[in-house]
């Protein structure tokens, strides 16, 4: 009996694995660009997780003998003016960029969802106050507001995450509020009120789950914007401080002085930023088409 039960569980597990692979193949055929974006993001995620194992050199170790070494067998992507290996610094820089992107997106979405959900559901003076606060935050572009916050908080990883998350809150709040306004008048919400459910329970149990689809789409788009903003802040000296290897700081240290004599110091960090944002946008478009039937072709 135990052997039969084990065989049954093993067969179910194999069926689940095969069905998941079948679903992955179907999505790759249906949304090939989204699959490419997903592969790019998986590669960068694995790069960030395994940077300490894969990187051939310490990203902070200097070697004056290899200063401005061209790409070759010793340094695959060359070395900077301090003799630090560019390839190792890009691998470890993936940790910084993904950590800032994920952290700021998650933080911005969390507070944006709270503000948008209760603003749209409660209405009245709560909605009025929240929307005026959002209007103030949206008066400045994302990068300008992030610059102001980064200058006020100071350069550090935590402060950079906060500085990028705050400008993301208004966009998320607007989207969640718009969906909440449409959902709160639907019959199942009226039925929940009729059986005596409180407003907080209705908002969290019935309204919030139905706003997840647009939230996921928005989060993927905001993730790419967060990475670009982090690179811009680091380029201007207001983002990730030394000695952390940030892609934006790598560009700021080499773009003006070494762009002609050592172009690899600009090409490879810029290529890494472009690829991760490109992959995020491709994946976000596929998720939008998958979750919104009106976008399907």
- pLDDT for 25-54, tens place per residue? 777 788 888 888 888 889 988 988 888 888
How far is 51 from 233, CA to CA, in rounded Å?
Answer: 23
pLDDT for 73-120, tens place per residue?
A: 888 888 888 888 889 989 988 888 888 888 999 999 999 999 998 888
Burial class (CB in 10 A: 0-12, 13-18, 19+), 245: buried
User: CATH classification of 38-295, choosing from 1.10.357.10, 3.40.50.720, 1.10.3720.10, 3.90.1150.10?
Assistant: 1.10.3720.10
Residue 242 backbone class (left: φ over 0; alpha: ψ -120 to 50; beta: rest): beta
Give residues with Cβ within 8 angstroms of 25, minimum separation 6. none
Q: Is the pLDDT of residue 143 over 80?
A: no
How many Å apart are CA 32 and CA 30, to the nearest integer? 6
Specify the pTM.
0.79
Hey, where are the domains in the chain? 1-30, 38-295
Structure tokens at 147: 């610059």
């Amino acid at each position: 009996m135990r052997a039969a039960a084990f065989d049954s569980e093993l067969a179910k597990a194999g069926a689940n694995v095969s069905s998941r692979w079948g679903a992955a193949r179907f999505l790759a055929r249906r949304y090939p660009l989204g699959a490419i974006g997903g592969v790019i993001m998986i590669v960068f995620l694995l790069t960030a997780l395994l940077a300490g194992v894969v990187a051939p050199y310490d990203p902070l170790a200097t070697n004056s003998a290899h200063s401005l070494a061209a790409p070759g067998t010793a340094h695959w992507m060359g070395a900077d003016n301090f003799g630090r290996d560019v390839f190792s610094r890009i691998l470890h820089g993936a940790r910084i960029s993904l950590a800032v992107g994920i952290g700021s997106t998650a933080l911005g979405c969390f507070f944006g969802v709270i503000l948008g959900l209760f603003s749209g559901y409660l209405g009245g003076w709560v909605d009025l106050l929240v929307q005026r606060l959002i209007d103030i935050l949206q008066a400045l572009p994302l990068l300008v507001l992030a610059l102001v916050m980064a200058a006020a908080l100071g350069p550090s990883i935590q402060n950079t995450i906060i500085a990028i998350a705050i400008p993301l809150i208004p966009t998320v709040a607007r989207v969640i509020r718009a969906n909440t306004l449409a959902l709160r008048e639907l019959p199942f919400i009226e039925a929940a009120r009729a059986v005596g459910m409180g407003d907080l329970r209705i908002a969290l149990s019935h309204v919030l789950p139905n706003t997840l689809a647009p939230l996921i789409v928005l989060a993927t788009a905001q993730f790419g914007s967060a990475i670009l903003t982090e690179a811009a802040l680091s380029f201007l000296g207001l983002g990730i401080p030394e000695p952390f290897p940030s892609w934006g700081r790598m560009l700021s240290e080499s773009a003006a002085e070494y762009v002609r004599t050592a172009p690899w110091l600009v090409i490879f960090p810029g290529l890494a930023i472009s690829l991760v944002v490109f992959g995020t946008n491709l994946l976000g478009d596929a998720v939008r088409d998958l979750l919104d039937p009106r976008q399907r072709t």
